Amino acid sequence: MPKLVIVVHYHEIWLKGGNRRFFLSKLHMALKRALDGLPVERILRPGDRLLIEFGEGASVEEAVARIERVFGVAFYAVARVVPRGGDDDLATLGRAAWEEVRGEKFSTFAVRSKRSDKSFPHPSTKIDTSVGQYLVDQLRVEGRAARVKLNDPELTCRIEIPPGPSLLVYARKIPGAGGLPPNTAGRMTCLLSGGFDSAVAAHKMMKRGAHLSFVHFWGGGARPGESSVHVARNLVRQLVPWQLSAKLYLVPFEPIQREIVARAPEEFRILLYRRMMLRIAERIARSGRSLGLITGDSLGQVASQTLRNMAAVGDAIRMPLYRPLAGDDKLEIMAAAEKIGTYAISAEPFHDCCPIFLPRNPALHSSPEELDRAESAMDVEALVRQGIENMATERYRYSAGRVEKVESFKSATA
Ligand code: ATP
Ligand code: MG
C-alpha cells in the first residue's frame, strides 16, 4: 500500500479541442520532474485527475512544496489511504470519510466517488449513498446540522478506487498554481531588470504555458559586488522551478549607454536605452526561436511608460512585444511578487544600469520619428552586434527540487 497519495485535479478548460493528450502529457511530465528525487511509486491517470502514489520515506511537506509550483494544477489534496479488501470496504470508507471531514466546518456536503478499478464490487452510486448515510449518522450523533446537497455543496468528500491494494478518501482541497501546463505555448524572451515588475511579468506568461529565456543588461558604473547580475541570477533561480529550465543572457550595457549619452539628446536617453535593449533582446530571441518579447512595463508607472513612449520604444522592433503588467497597479504587482517569492530578491539593493546618466527632464511623450532622429548619429546595428558579441550565457535546470546552473559560456565579467 502506498504511504502517501496526492490527488491532482486540473481545469477542463484547456482540454477542449484536440489538445487533451498533449496538455496532459506535459502536465504529467512536469509533475514527474517536479517530484524528481522523491519516492514516487507511480502516477495514475484515471480520467480527469492524476493520482500520485509515494512509497516509504515520502514527506508530505516536501511533496506539497514541489506540487505548488506546477502550473496546470487547479487543486490537489493529500488523500487518506485505507486498505482495501477487508470484510466490509464500504464501512472502511465510511469511517475514513468521517475522519477526513469531522474537523471541517460545513453545513452542506456531498460524497463523490470514482471507481477507476471496475473490479471493485460496488458501483459509485452505491458508495456515495452508503458513505453519505454514514456521515449523516455521525453528524447527527454529534448534534451537527449538516445535510446532503448534491448541487454545489460546501464540502465534497471524494473517494477514489484505483487499481491496487488501497482506497482513497479526501475532502480538503488545496488550491494549485493554476494556469496551463508548463512549456505548452512556445518560447518567449523576457527582459529581466532585477526590479519587481519584470519578474512578475515573466511569471504571468510562464503561467500561460510560455517557456522563457531571460535577458539582463548590466553595468553603468557599478562597483565590484554592486552589480545587478546577482539579482538577475537569483530571480531566474526563483522562477525556474515553474518551467523546469531556463537560459539567462547577460549583456554588458555600459558601453552602449555611453554611446547614447555621447550622441543623442539628453531627454530621450532612457527611451533610447530601452530601444537598444529591445533590439538586442529581439536578436537573441530570434536565434532562440522565441515568438515574443516580454517586459514589465505598467501604464503610467514612470515617464518611459506613457502610452506614447511605449509606442515609440516598441516601434524599434518587429517581434510582438508583450507587457503583461500594462494594466496592473503597483500594489497588485508587489503582492504578486510576494506570492511567487521574488519580492525579497528584487528588494535587495543593487546597481541598476539605468539611473546613471539619467536625464534631468525625460521626455514624457515622444514619437517613433523623434526617436529615429535622436538615434541618427549612432551606428545602431554596430551597437546591437557589440551587445551580442559581449554577452554571456548561463543555463539553469530544476532537478531533484533544486535549481542548478548547468552551463555557462563566455565568462560574465560582472
Ligand atoms: P522593473 O521593476 O521590472 O525594473 P521598472 O518599473 O523599474 O520595471 P523600467 O526600469 O523603466 O521599469 O523598465 C521597464 C522594463 O524594461 C522592465 O520591466 C524590464 O522588462 C525592462 N528593463 C529595464 N531595465 C532592464 C535591464 N537592466 N535588463 C533587462 N531588462 C530591463
Ligand atoms: Mg527597473
Per-residue pLDDT reduced to its tens digit, 306-358: 999 999 999 999 999 999 999 999 999 999 999 999 999 999 887 776 666 77
Among 110, 140, 175, the domain-final residue is 175
Identify which has the larger pLDDT, 197 or 400.
197
34-48, 55-69, 240-254, 400-414: range with lowest mean pLDDT: 400-414
Residue 397 maps to a domain:
yes
- DSSP-based three-state secondary structure for 198: helix
Mean of pLDDT over the chain:
93
Residue 198 maps to a domain:
yes
Domain identity same for 294 and 148: no
Domain identity same for 65 and 122: yes
C-alpha count within 13 angstroms, C-beta hemisphere, residue 81: 17
Task: Check if the beta carbon of residue 188 is closer than 8 Å to that of residue 319.
Answer: no
Domain identity same for 131 and 252: no
- Separation of alpha carbons 111 and 125, rounded Å: 10
Domain identity same for 359 and 229: yes
Average pLDDT over residues 132-145: 96
pLDDT band at residue 413 under the 50/70/90 scheme: very low
- 115 CA distance to ligand 2 middle (Å): 53
Verify whether ligand 1 is closer than 6 Å to residue 353 (CB atom): yes
Average pLDDT over residues 82-111: 96
Q: How many domains does the chain have?
A: 2
Which segments of 102-215 does DSSP mark as H helices, in order?
A: 124-141, 196-207
- Which atom in ligand 1 lies closest to the alpha carbon of residue 251? 28
- Which atom in ligand 1 lies closest to the alpha carbon of residue 325? 18
Site to substitute for ligand 1 among 188, 189, 197, most atoms within 8 A of C-beta: 197
Domain identity same for 352 and 396: yes
Domain identity same for 100 and 216: no
**Does pLDDT of 410 surpass 80?**
no
- 14 CA distance to ligand 2 middle (Å): 34
pLDDT for the residue numbered 359: 82
Q: What percent of the chain has pLDDT over 90?
A: 86
Residue 346 maps to a domain:
yes
pLDDT for the residue numbered 19: 83
pLDDT for the residue numbered 411: 46
Residue 181 maps to a domain:
no
pLDDT for the residue numbered 34: 96
Verify whether ligand 1 is closer than 6 Å to residue 270 (CB atom): no
- Separation of alpha carbons 330 and 323, rounded Å: 14
Task: Check if the beta carbon of residue 75 is closer than 8 Å to that of residue 176.
Answer: yes
- Separation of alpha carbons 402 and 131, rounded Å: 42
Which residue CA neighbors atom 20 of ligand 1 most closely? 295
Average pLDDT over residues 149-159: 97
Verify whether ligand 1 is closer than 6 Å to residue 295 (CB atom): yes
Residue 222 maps to a domain:
yes
- Which atom in ligand 1 lies closest to the alpha carbon of residue 199? 3
Site to substitute for ligand 1 among 189, 191, 330, 332, most atoms within 8 A of C-beta: 191
Q: What percent of the chain has pLDDT over 70?
A: 95
**Does pLDDT of 223 surpass 80?**
no
pLDDT band at residue 414 under the 50/70/90 scheme: very low
Handedness of CA 119, 125, 126, 130 (dihedral sign): positive
Smallest-distance ligand from the CA of 306:
1
**Does pLDDT of 377 surpass 90?**
yes
Domain identity same for 32 and 71: yes
Domain identity same for 34 and 121: yes
Residue 275 maps to a domain:
yes
- 199 CA distance to ligand 1 middle (Å): 10
Verify whether ligand 1 is closer than 6 Å to residue 91 (CB atom): no
Question: What is the DSSP annotation of 26-92?
Answer: HHHHHHHHHTTTS-EEEEE--SSEEEEEE-TT--HHHHHHHHTT-TT--EEEEEEEEESSSS-HHHH
- 403 CA distance to ligand 2 middle (Å): 25
Could you identify the residue written with the cell 539605468? 354
Verify whether ligand 1 is closer than 6 Å to residue 217 (CB atom): yes
pLDDT for the residue numbered 81: 96
Q: What is the pLDDT of residues 245-298, one digit of tens each?
A: 999 999 999 999 999 999 999 999 999 999 999 999 999 999 999 999 999 999
pLDDT band at residue 169 under the 50/70/90 scheme: very high
Domain identity same for 198 and 123: no
Residue 304 structural domain:
186-410
- Separation of alpha carbons 228 and 351, rounded Å: 5
Residue 112's CATH number: 3.30.2130.30
- Which residues on adjacent β-strands are paired with residue 167? 82
**Does pLDDT of 215 surpass 90?**
yes
Smallest-distance ligand from the CA of 257:
1
Among 118, 144, 175, the domain-final residue is 175
Which residue CA neighbors atom 31 of ligand 1 most closely? 193
Residue 180 maps to a domain:
no
pLDDT for the residue numbered 352: 72
Average pLDDT over residues 181-201: 97
Residue 272's CATH number: 3.40.50.620
Domain identity same for 50 and 124: yes
Verify whether ligand 1 is closer than 6 Å to residue 328 (CB atom): no
**Does pLDDT of 238 surpass 90?**
yes
Average pLDDT over residues 81-108: 96
Domain identity same for 311 and 170: no
Among 175, 201, 218, the domain-final residue is 175
Which residues, 6+ apart, have CB-to-CB distance to 241 below 8 Å? 34, 69, 398, 403
Verify whether ligand 1 is closer than 6 Å to residue 252 (CB atom): no
Domain identity same for 143 and 224: no
Residue 126 maps to a domain:
yes
Verify whether ligand 1 is closer than 6 Å to residue 314 (CB atom): no
pTM above 0.85, yes or no: yes
- Separation of alpha carbons 381 and 360, rounded Å: 28
- 197 CA distance to ligand 2 middle (Å): 8
Cell of 237: 533561480
